[in-house]
Each structure stands twice: as structure tokens, then as C-alpha cells.
Amino acid sequence: MFDVLSRIVRTGILTEPSASPSIEALQKDIWGILGRALTIRQVDAGSCNACELEIQALNNPYYNLEGMGIKFVASPRHADMLLVTGPVSVNMEEALKRTYDAVPDPKLVVAVGDCGACGGVFGTSYASRGAVANVIPVNHTITGCPPGPAAILKGIFEAVRSTFSGVHR
């Protein structure tokens, strides 16, 4: 137990001031717009998994995601936003559509990574539908292969601002 406590004390608080001031401003906006936490359901619709790893990285202590009022949830029914990585494989098309339908309105879809945004190296084929927007409506895209956590965070905030401004819930 002593080891555990000393490890905690010695590590201290690692959370960084947001990667850029613009993120902090965006975060304030979100509180203004939503007035509460943002819940996100992540869906891997066929990615190579590196995009997932960078989304997971948002949960490490440097980014303090929950401290910013963002939470990943287990059910689409609890989600405000779907964060989808692609390309959408043909074998995931139906599951993605069903997940989308399960998210309550008004819902927000953010496509993450070059693949989710435009199909990336995989493009479209017998096995791939390419961009997420080819399968469900998309509000915002975050490019990069994979985009880093800071870029993903910024993209999430921008999506909320551009979509929910003016919508009162």
C-alpha cells in the first residue's frame, strides 16, 4: 500500500494545460452550449486500430478528458456523439447503421482519421465503403493517420460548437 501511495504522490498531477489555448476556449463553449458533460460512443467501423489507440490515449492523465466534461459511454443510447473510425468495411456497415439509429436525437457524428474522413489508403472496394459519410450522415471529420489525441480533442470540440450552437436542449 505504501508503494502505491508513494507512487501516486511522486507522480503528482500530470494533466497539462490544454494542448492549445484554442482548445480551452472551445471547451468553455461546450459548457455554454451543452450545459453538461458530453457523452461519446466510439465505433470502430473497420479501422486498422491505430486510430483507436489514439482515441484511447485521450484517457491518459495528460489529457484529463473527464475533467473537461467528456465521457466515453458503453451504449449508443447514452451518447450525444458517435466517434467513428473507418474505412467502413462492408462487414461493419449494418452494425454501424444500427448503432447510429440507436443514438438519440439530436446526434452528432464525427469521423476520425483519414480513413473515416475519406477512405484513406483503403478507399472503396468490394470490401470497403470508404468514408463514414458514405454510410451515415457525418457532421465533422478529423484527418490524420492516425490523428494524435490533441487533434482528436480539438475536432470533438469544433464539432460540438459548429453543430450545437443555437440548439437549446
Partner 1 sequence: MNFDFPEQQPVQLPANIPAGCLRVNREQWLQTAKALHDANTRLLALWAADDRDRDGCFRVYAMYLLPETILVVEHAIHDASNPMYPSIAALFPSALRMQRAVYDLLGIASDESDMRGWLRHNGWPETLFPLRKDVDGSAHYSIAPASYPFVTVEGDGVHEIAVGPVHAGIIEPGHFRFSVVGEKVLRLEERLGYTHKGVAKLFEAFSQQDGHRLAARVSGDSAVAFSWAYCASLEAITETPVPLRAVYLRALALEHERLTNHLGDLGALGNDAGFALGLTQFSRLKEDLLRTNTVAFGARYLMHYIVPGGVSVDLPGRARGLLLKQYQELERGVVKLRSIYDEHAGIQDRFREAGRLTNELAERLGAIGLVGRASGIACDLRVDHPWQPYDKLRPKLITQAYGDVAARVQVRFDEVLETLRLCRALLDDLSSGPIQVQVPIAEPDRMGAGVIEGWRGPVIVVLETGRDGAIRRCHAHDSSWQNWPLLEYAILGNIVPDFPLINKSFNLSYSGQDG
The footprint of ligand SF4 (CB under 6 A) covers: 47-48, 50-51, 85, 113-115, 120-121, 145-146
Q: Select from ligand SF4, partner 1, none the partner in contact with residue 155, using the beta carbon and a kind-dependent cut-off of 5 to 8 Å.
A: none
Q: Which amino acid is at 155?
A: G
Q: In this structure, are residues 107 and 81 in contact, taking their beta carbons and an 8 Å threshold?
A: yes
Alpha-carbon distance values, 124 to 89, 119, 131 (Å):
9, 7, 8
Q: How far apart are CA 18 and CA 79, in angstroms?
A: 24
35 binds partner 1 (CB under 8 A): no
126 lines the binding site for partner 1 (CB under 8 A)? yes
Q: Which three cell numbers stand for residue 99?
A: 448503432
> Going by C-beta distance under 8 Å and a sequence separation of 6 or more, which residues neighbour residue 37?
69, 70, 71
Examine residue 53 and tell whether it contacts partner 1 (CB under 8 A). Answer: yes
CA end-to-end distance (rounded Å), the chain = 46
The residues pairing with 89 across neighbouring beta strands, listed in sequence order, are 128
Q: Where are the alpha helices (DSSP H) in the chain?
A: 2-11, 21-34, 50-57, 93-102, 113-118, 149-164
Shortest spacing between CB 11 and ligand SF4, in angstroms: 29
Q: Which stretch binds partner 1 (CB under 8 A): 20-28, 103-111, 127-135, 156-164?
A: 127-135
Applying the rule CB under 8 A, the residues between 128 and 167 that interact with partner 1 are 128-129, 145-146, 148
Show the binding pattern over residues 71-110: x = contacts partner 1 (CB under 8 A), - = does not.
-x-xx-----------x-xxxxxxx---x-----------
Contacts with partner 1, residue ranges (CB under 8 A): 3-4, 7-8, 11, 14, 42-57, 59-62, 72, 74-75, 87, 89-95, 99, 120-129, 145-146, 148
